[in-house]
Structure 1
Amino acid sequence: MTEMVFGAEGAPSAEREPIVPRWWRTVDRWTLSAVLVLFLLGLLLGLAASPPLAARNGLDPFHYVTRQAVFGVVGLAAMLIVSMWEPRALRRWATIGFGLTFLAVLLLPVLGTDFGKGATRWYSLGFASIQPSEFLKPVFVVFAAWLMTGSMARGGPPGKSLSFGLAVAVAASLALQPDFGQASLILAAWGLMYFVAGAPMLLLVSLAGAVVATGIFAYNNSEHFARRIDGYLDPVVDPTTQIGYATAAIREGGFLGVGVGEGLVKWRLPDAHTDFIIAVAAEEYGLLLVLVIIGLFAFITLRALFRLSRERDAFIRLAGTGLAALFAMQSVINMGVAVRLLPAKGMTLPFVSYGGSSLLATGVSLGMLIAFTRTRPQDDLGDALGLGGRHG
């Protein structure tokens, strides 16, 4: 079944070609360039947002931006390495990675810490911390795509049902932290993949209703969740809250911003360098830079989906769609929270916000996406003959 799903090995001539030249010939260089620009913009905004936090903690002014640069370079390196892997290698490692990261999430209530933020999401390593849910998301998507694809083969396992059970289990474990934002991302990505795999609309509507019912239950039984929803629904925004400071900064920035280094929101928000980095961009550089950032996220996502739309391998198409959805939805949620379109989620802006786990996990996730969207000569031959492509 594995060979039916993932195809036979490539032609011997392709196998003998060195990895790096073959990667450079087949990789989407426009996407690589857009990701690099996003990272550089993240460093630029880090230079503006992190010195106040460093001053409050008695550290060197560029302590956090230096760490962001180091983690970002490691994340970019991980992205490049993973993007060179073939789909079957990605599937194998994602399966192992899912088992390890899911176990790490399950052990958080026992071994994790909340760093005083009310949600146990991290493991403290002393010199740094790690958030396993960031790494769980991309490997879950790839593993779920493999399960769904396996169910398409005659006599294959009930992969769609198994993937649904795993999605519910993962979302529930995240909600217990509580981390409803990441749980919502997992369910939304799975739902989109299931839709692409050919799920009936009635089933998807039923699942959406179940999610709403779960949200109502969480509102009535979780003070953390209810507090965030109440704050979002309150028509009057307290100007001394994080959302109040962020929305005021965005208004003050206008089209061109108040000027580099002149912004005030970075002195008022403890999470200006992470969850509310877009507010810093809007205040100091204005709407113009915000539109550039939005354009980069849209470009990476739409370009990936366009390339995947021509993909004939079901596993690659499903996994790539799920990864693109994760990337796009997380960016929308982060920016939507800053302008009060969505309730506060505590979610970083991929490759822009400060955060070691976020930068590394985003690098791995984008590396997988780039690997799945690489050009494969078999596709062109299959199109010419009217046959399905084969992928090694």
Structure 2
Amino acid sequence: MTEMVYGTAPIRAGEPVLPRWWRTVDKWSISCILLLFGVGMLLGLAASPPLAEKNGFDAFHYVERQAVFGVAALVAMLVVSTMPPDLVRRAGVVGFAAAFVALALLPILGTDFGKGAVRWYSLGFASVQPSEFLKPAFVVLAAWLMAAGQEVNGPPGRTISLAVALVVVAFLAMQPDFGQAALVLFAWGVMYFVAGASLVLLVGLAGAVVFAGVVAYQNSEHFARRIDGFLSPEIDPRTQLGYAVNAIQEGGIFGVGVGEGQVKWSLPDAHTDFIIAVAAEEYGLILVLAIIALYLTVVLRALYRLTRERDGFIRLAGTGLACSFGVQALINMGVAVKLLPAKGMTLPFVSYGGSSIIASGIALGALLALTRTRPQGEIGDLLRRGGRA
């Protein structure tokens, strides 16, 4: 009866998993993700050889590692994208528990690699950053709690999800990792807004975040140094930000030419946090706009497909994953042009980094799984029929 009222998407009895996946997944988004990975490899070829030479490795050491990480991320993305929503939810909850335990143990077992923030586990041959995997898992967990809270006699899901978010943010702030903490709060706020939060409450939460920022500024030298650098009208040309801004200015519209850029010889993080500066210097504004267009396409197509979804969990989790993906890219590029304070955040699927790219693959796989076409009615059907069951 429900199918007669709401309508269904086409389904073929006995259809194998892979053909059904290919027929229902968003192919435009997959294409954009593959292009982003290709751009990342191209920029890695330009940005990483100087650092590899400095560290005594082969010229393409970091490129080869990025290729291995990227293939693992794409495989993870494709596997996760074949999962049904209920399996995505269960995997997200279990993944959150594992990532949170790993995050909590960082002060005891973690390392800072000389960067002043204990964010990683050293495995000898590689390192793992738990916060990267925590982000998508938290989004799924929070979406499940909020969706459960919308049910009749459901638990106080919004309140519980807020408590979880604050605990996660507290652990991230202790590293310190204020960038990831801000991203977690942003994802929670977006989902809370979609779930129907009042504007007064959101304004109050924004005020609380500002107050927390003031406290952090007064008590954290790491945080204060970055804010002071951002607010300063002058840019020290000897800092990473100074090198990045100069490279972007030198690149202009068409760039200085492939392999002709100089910033990669000065920036220690040219292949990670500031890789957009390498893109802007060697390929110019044209490539930067193309990269922005790829991120926008993934985010906007996901949000468009989610507007037709009736399931509360899918709408919330998909929105949180899509917006987190887009905002992380926005933050990374905003830092490079001094529109935002430095946060040490990678450019998803483009920057070098094992934890970052594999976690991004898992997150995008979940997003693709949640935005697949399924044999169910859409929210528009319900609205047009006046909510009749």
Specify which of 23, 32, 39 is matched with residue 37 of structure 2: 39
**Quick one: which amino acid aligns to residue 228 of structure 1?**
R
Specify which of 267, 270, 280 is matched with residue 269 of structure 1: 267
Q: Cα distance, 1:386 vs. partner?
A: 3.8
Instruction: Mark the runs of 5 or more structure 2 residues left unpaired by the alignment.
Output: 1-7
Specify which of 278, 302, 315 is matched with residue 313 of structure 2: 315
Aligned length: 380
Q: Specify the alignment match of 1:56 in structure 2.
A: 54
**Quick one: which amino acid aligns to residue 44 of structure 2?**
G
**Quick one: which amino acid aligns to residue 344 of structure 2?**
G
**Quick one: which amino acid aligns to residue 127 of structure 2?**
S
Q: Specify the alignment match of 1:128 in structure 2.
A: 126
Please list the CA deviations of residues 95-148 of structure 1 after superposition, one character each: whole Å capped at 9, or x if unmatched: 100001011001100000000001000000000000000000001000100000
Q: Using a 3 Å threshold, how does the CA distance of structure 1 residues 14 and 386 change in structure 2: closer, same or farther? A: farther
Residues in 1 aligned to 2:310 and 2:210: alpha-carbon distance in whole angstroms: 34
Q: Cα distance, 1:48 vs. partner?
A: 0.2
Q: Specify the alignment match of 1:376 in structure 2.
A: 374
Q: Specify the alignment match of 1:247 in structure 2.
A: 245
Is 1:145 the equivalent of 2:143?
yes
Q: Specify the alignment match of 1:295 in structure 2.
A: 293
SS in 2 for 1:379: coil
Please list the CA deviations of residues 287-329 of structure 1 after superposition, one character each: whole Å capped at 9, or x if unmatched: 0000000110011101110111111111100000000011011
**Quick one: which amino acid aligns to residue 333 of structure 1?**
I
Residues in 2 aligned to 1:380 and 1:228: alpha-carbon distance in whole angstroms: 46
Is 1:157 the equivalent of 2:139?
no
Q: Specify the alignment match of 1:28 in structure 2.
A: 26
Q: Specify the alignment match of 2:202 in structure 1.
A: 204
Residues in 1 aligned to 2:55 and 2:363: alpha-carbon distance in whole angstroms: 32
Please list the CA deviations of residues 60-86 of structure 1 after superposition, one character each: whole Å capped at 9, or x if unmatched: 000000100110011001000000000
Please list the CA deviations of residues 193-244 of structure 1 after superposition, one character each: whole Å capped at 9, or x if unmatched: 0000000000000000000000000000000000111111111110000000
Q: Cα distance, 1:387 vs. partner?
A: 8.4
Residues in 2 aligned to 1:114 and 1:80: alpha-carbon distance in whole angstroms: 32
**Quick one: which amino acid aligns to residue 260 of structure 1?**
V
Q: Cα distance, 1:382 vs. partner?
A: 7.8
Residues in 2 aligned to 1:386 and 1:249: alpha-carbon distance in whole angstroms: 56
Provide runs of 4+ in structure 1 moved above 2 Å: 13-17, 379-388
Residues in 1 aligned to 2:16 and 2:100: alpha-carbon distance in whole angstroms: 35
- CA-based RMSD of the aligned residues comes to 1.8
Sequence identity percentage: 67
Residues in 1 aligned to 2:334 and 2:188: alpha-carbon distance in whole angstroms: 21
Residues in 2 aligned to 1:168 and 1:71: alpha-carbon distance in whole angstroms: 31
Q: Cα distance, 1:15 vs. partner?
A: 7.1
**Quick one: which amino acid aligns to residue 377 of structure 2?**
D
Instruction: Mark the runs of 5 or more structure 1 residues left unpaired by the alignment.
Output: 1-9
Q: Specify the alignment match of 2:4 in structure 1.
A: none
**Quick one: which amino acid aligns to residue 263 of structure 2?**
V
**Quick one: which amino acid aligns to residue 290 of structure 2?**
V
